[in-house]
Structure 1
Amino acid sequence: MTELLRQGTEYFTGEFGVAPDGLWSAPGRVNVIGEHTDYNDGFAFPIAIDKRTTVAARAREDRMLRVASSAFPGVVETSLDGLDPDSLNGWAAYPLGVAWAMSRTAPAGALTGVDLALSSDVPAGAGLSSSAAVECAVALALNDLWQLGLSRQELARIGQLAENRVVGAPTGIMDQSASLLGEPDHGILLDCQSLKTESVALGFAAAGVGLLVIDTRTSHSHADGGYASRRRSCEDGARTMGVGSLRALGTEDLPRAATLLDGQTFRRVRHVITENQRVLDTVAALRTAGPTAIGPFLNESHVSMRDDFEISTPELDLAVSSAQELGALGARMTGGGFGGAAIALVRNGDASRVAEGIARDFSRAGFTAPHVFPVSASAGARREQ
């Protein structure tokens, strides 16, 4: 982290010729369980991870916004007065989308411009929410520089608004909540209907277990049509079932749903209903039996996403099955799907062997070599300097 902060300061100075006023950072996230439940007002259980995006920022005296990213060439410039969500695109849509969303909370003309420089070690396109890490780091920085006094829950909603309205990805609020509210060795039980959060001890260290991320290096995008079509199916299912969202339904409603919905819509609805229950069962197991008991719920979640929600890929399926065969306690794809990463819950002493075995299985299948690495639950967004 110290090296990332040093690089962030040097990068800002190199791009803008002056030192930043401060540095802020926000983590990516791994969703332990609860996929595609957030926009259905359901439950999710993410952790913030020890991979972070940093933003070095400096207030300006005019109303210009300038953003740079170490991952992309050039500096993108615009004016606070000309911020238009329909004209923002590319990588700059994420930080400038946040600026647009936050500017709506302040009186007209009250804000000054800002220079922002982004750097990150959150793998992009891997399902670890690199986009939310950018949004939350920028939101926290602007909240401080503009002295808006917004709560972390409000900043999460701003990040979601930026992603929905500006980027065009119909995501829920889970990613931003995890990035802003994470705690070391804790998961976040998020009720996406009330936005109530509860910090839940993981107990991974005491139990000698940890999470491996298996980045399949098959990129995905939440703005693509597959994600949006799944959301539409869920909304159609809720409407046909006569409820405002699928959160209102439980497993006892599945027989009626099977008679009212077409086959595909029923499968989408069944995934969300059963995934909500798996989140609650996972949290209950952590509290009563410890982390070694949650593996079956991870396995069941992957089957549901593969067969009912149909968002897995051959690479993700191999990552999961390989980890399971090599002795993982449980494994599942994580993130929005259509590529990205899987996670495996492993005993610490097995981590290297499992990682090597997965890489070997990918090679035998002719797939691109995966990036397999451990993650631990980390602190949420914060000011660093």
Structure 2
Amino acid sequence: MLVVEAFRAAFGADPRTVWHAPGRVNLIGEHTDYNDGFVLPFAVPWGVTAAVTPRGDHTIRLLSLQSDGEPITIERHEDARGWTRYVVGVLAVLADRLGEPVPGADIAIDGDVPQGAGLSSSAALEVAVAGALNDLHGLGMTPMELALLSQRAENDFVGMPCGIMDQAASALGQEGHALFLDCRSLGSRTIPLDLASHGLRILIIDTGVHHEHAGGEYAKRRAECESAARKLGVEALRDVTDLAGALERLQGDERKRTMHVVTENHRVEALVGLLRAGAVTEIGALLNASHLSLRDQYEVSSPELDVAVEAAVRGGARGARMTGGGFGGSAIALVAEDRLDSVQESVAAAYAERGWHAPRFLPAVPSPGASRRA
């Protein structure tokens, strides 16, 4: 294992444990998680592997195979910068959870989640490190507890106000299944996603446009939702039952955000119902409706995402939508196997016409969640 070899070369010994956690794709349910709503993600084949050994002091030494140079040494949590914040944040939050200092660690990281594609490489990194620390210190945390610890690291330490979806998908994913998650109760159940038996694929279309949520737009959307909920007298937009009445009481962006969140929750439940009924071929219209709502009501799409979705459908996809937080990243398309070439050709041609770099196409296969590898 390459990460073990790198760990040995950098730190002079084998790691005590090695954990892997995957990224995720969200089938439907976008920007609903921090509104206490419903989501339906699944884990993808790519992820992050963390090789870890605890230290006898509180120093943290970090090595990434995706970065050049020597290991980064961090003496104080607040000195973490860039990608190291996600790792150090997990240790900091764990110390706060336990109410006592946590020993430092030597950590080597290897990852193959496509960067900037909206597939949650940050959540995979957090969950992999959290799983390794849980293992090393015998803490007995459940997969959902690992997800919550990782989410808090991103919220409180990194400063990204994400919901629980990404970390939960990484920690709880199961091969061949999507994860239906109630983001308020944290109740979940796996939903079979047997695409192959229906002659279908989920195709990821990586636009190559990097997204950066912590820059402000993501936080702005969350604040708008929270403000709308206060005006409507509900705990979260998930609790809106009279949408027409709610929209009469709101204006501008808060009205549009509420429209998206409430209808998106309905779309998640409808899609789960179709999957449970075995009507996999019928979910495309819900994907299309989700994208239109994200584009027009939540305003988190981008020209590259819109062109990818429109060209995919024109090329024969049964449905398509942007996935992830938006402002770039990836779209997904539900495609019959015999139309894969035509869909890819249609999207590539649409990009070429506009002088854009060619997108990357990746098959999205529902994959296992986080686990120990060594």
Q: Give the TM-score normalised by the residue count of structure 1.
A: 0.94
* 2:73 paired with 1:77: yes
Pairs within 5 Å for 1:142-291: 142-250=133-241, 253-291=242-280
The residue aligned with 1:310 is: 299
Q: Contact 1:112 / 1:146 at 8 angstroms: preserved in 2?
A: no
Corresponding letter in the other structure for 1:325: R
Q: Contact 1:47 / 1:188 at 8 angstroms: preserved in 2?
A: yes
Shift of 1:357: 2.5
Aligned partners of 1:202 and 1:70: how far apart in 2?
33
Aligned-pair identity (%): 47
Aligned partners of 2:221 and 2:121: how far apart in 1?
21
Local SS of the residue matching 1:337: coil
The residue aligned with 2:34 is: 39
Q: Contact 2:17 / 2:136 at 8 angstroms: preserved in 1?
A: no
What count of residue pairs does the alignment treat as equivalent?
A: 373
Q: Contact 1:170 / 1:222 at 8 angstroms: preserved in 2?
A: no
The residue aligned with 1:295 is: 284
* 2:356 paired with 1:367: yes
Structure 1 regions of 5+ residues with no counterpart?
1-5
Local SS of the residue matching 2:213: coil
Shift of 1:193: 0.5
Local SS of the residue matching 2:41: strand
The residue aligned with 1:319 is: 308
Q: Contact 1:89 / 1:167 at 8 angstroms: preserved in 2?
A: no
Structure 2 regions of 5+ residues with no counterpart?
none
Q: Contact 2:117 / 2:210 at 8 angstroms: preserved in 1?
A: yes
Aligned partners of 1:345 and 1:200: how far apart in 2?
17
Aligned partners of 1:381 and 1:214: how far apart in 2?
24
The residue aligned with 1:376 is: 365
Q: Contact 2:37 / 2:238 at 8 angstroms: preserved in 1?
A: yes
* 2:69 paired with 1:92: no
Corresponding letter in the other structure for 2:315: L
The residue aligned with 2:335 is: 346
RMSD: 1.3
Corresponding letter in the other structure for 2:73: E
The partner residue of 1:23 within 18, 23, 34 is 18
Aligned partners of 1:309 and 1:57: how far apart in 2?
40
Q: Contact 2:247 / 2:258 at 8 angstroms: preserved in 1?
A: no
Q: Contact 1:34 / 1:44 at 8 angstroms: preserved in 2?
A: yes
Corresponding letter in the other structure for 2:96: R
Aligned partners of 2:315 and 2:113: how far apart in 1?
26
